[in-house]
Structure 1
């Protein structure tokens, strides 16, 4: 019964006045690269603690598209990657709720359901493909092809950092014309990203290719987060390369808070991010 009411609450939340339409767009027309399982719907994990809906066993990655009303639309778009340790996706707190906030700012928001569990190369395939799908359709959707950003939370932050630093490398073989366009995001927001410091002695992981064409980046986290060192090492690497960077480290707030009320960090980062977006994207 509790789960039923949670689903109802989420559906009501998604129907707020900012949203014009909500659509689903599958990323891979035929075979999914680096995927052994057949395409099927995700499985919801029974655990709904903190009113978080968690989904896993994703074999048919998709984008859930949130479009703002025409009076707010600014032409920019954002691809949202929820966290969950690459085990599952916290699809509401770090996905749909974030999309609702972005469409209130005029962005077209795309919530990415990337491969889980434990398919990191598949997840990278999915986010590279997602950026290409949005960019290749930007004219048709009346979006600016040079204002396509990514935002990720926890593991989604790790994934967003990967695509922001590895876009020069194709993580899968091209499947169609869409894959001829760039997978470089134009801006990147990393909210409490995890495990960026898997190098020797907790230095930056060698998975991240640091160069001077990384997009402008916004990082937010708290010093009481288990992954605080992760934020520091990535920010330091970008700073050394003179990448446009805004980095906020607040004293407390923990991890996994999204933008829900009652947590100071959750209430603060959107205000800072909105200001940064105005200055960076427009």
Structure 2
């Protein structure tokens, strides 16, 4: 019986250690947008990945780095999905776990999305094929909310940095596709309290938000994309890079010949599979993080 109780205690502690740590971040509720029903979490056969849709309350899932290797750097991750959904695994939790393995604490941000009742991925796919203008109409009022969620997430992490065991001056923001548009919005609208210390837009949706002049105190930025992106985002990615570079800001660009769109952490047997390692190397070179020691 003692052995059984020990096993129960062991598995109970294991379950506790792996329990999700979810934080609702401060936000202002809009008066002109209504979400019906609950948030949905399901596997999309169309996108061949796990997604989350109909998000009305912004939250973060916390992935703490092991204290034995934690280096104080943190990254807020904004998954993509056209502002209709979050590609929550390959552009969210899988990214966070890789960062954790390298001593970086991560926060997967569920920013607010277009209200949808059924299959959000099916809805945006059909709209893209039959009425692309409809996507723009639905996304327009949501993008400012998503950007405000990104800024709120940075403020929250900074004000609770000690609790999370992170450096308040090493908080980055990394976004994929639509999350990349959120990253751009964050880069143009921050205040001293919610300014990111570095930015990583990954195949950012540059057609939904205008590329602007880099801020005077612009944080370092690394842009990642593929030339063969079927949404044509390579052009916008290079323009975003140039907007930082021409004003003498710290910026890098990894443009892969092949990779397509939405590759995230999904292996394709291409050099783009290693984009996150290139980010890590860049972060070390810029003094954003420090390498692990044996």
> Shorter-chain TM-score: what band?
0.7 to 0.9
Q: Secondary structure at the match of 2:282?
A: helix
1:233–1:197 CA distance, 2 compared to 1 (3 A): farther
1:260 aligns with 2:283: no
Spell out, residue by residue over 1:6-26, the C-alpha distance to the aligned partner (whole angstroms, 9 max, x if none). Answer: xxxxxxxxx9xxx86630000
Count of aligned residue pairs for this structure pair: 246
Q: Which moved more, 1:257-266 or 1:38-47?
A: 38-47
> Does residue 187 of structure 2 align to residue 190 of structure 1?
no
Larger radius of gyration: 2
* TM-aligned CA deviation for residue 50 of structure 1: 5.1
Instruction: Return the TM-score normalized by structure 1.
Output: 0.80
* 1:37 maps to 2:34: yes
**Who is 2:6 aligned against?**
none
2:199 touches 2:222 (CA, 8 Å); kept in 1?
A: yes
CA–CA distance in 1 between the matches of 2:271 and 2:162? 37
**Residue in structure 2 matched with residue 201 of structure 1 by the alignment:** none
- The equivalent residue for 2:21 is 23
Q: Which runs of 5 or more residues in structure 2 are unaligned?
A: 1-13, 115-138, 290-294
Write out per-residue CA displacement over residues 207-240 of structure 1, whole angstroms, 9 at most, x where no aligned residue: x452221110001111111211110111111111
8 Å Cα contact 2:73-2:171 kept in structure 1: yes
CA contact (8 A) 1:197 1:233 kept: no
| Cα distance in 1 between the residues matched to 2:44 and 2:160 | 37
Name the residue aligned to 1:133: 156
CA shift at 1:197, angstroms? 7.4
Q: Select 2:248's aligned residue among 226, 242, 253.
A: 242
How does the TM-score come out when normalised to structure 2?
Answer: 0.77
Where has structure 1 moved over 4 Å in runs of 4 or more? 38-41
The runs of 5 or more residues in structure 1 that have no matched partner are: 1-14, 169-180, 199-204
RMSD: 2.4
- Whether contact under 8 Å (2:213, 2:243) holds in the other structure is no
> Do 2:256 and 2:272's aligned partners in 1 also have CA atoms closer than 8 Å?
no
**3-state SS of paired residue (2:164):** coil
Alpha-carbon offset, residue 35 of structure 1: 6.8
The structural deviation recorded for 1:46 is 5.9
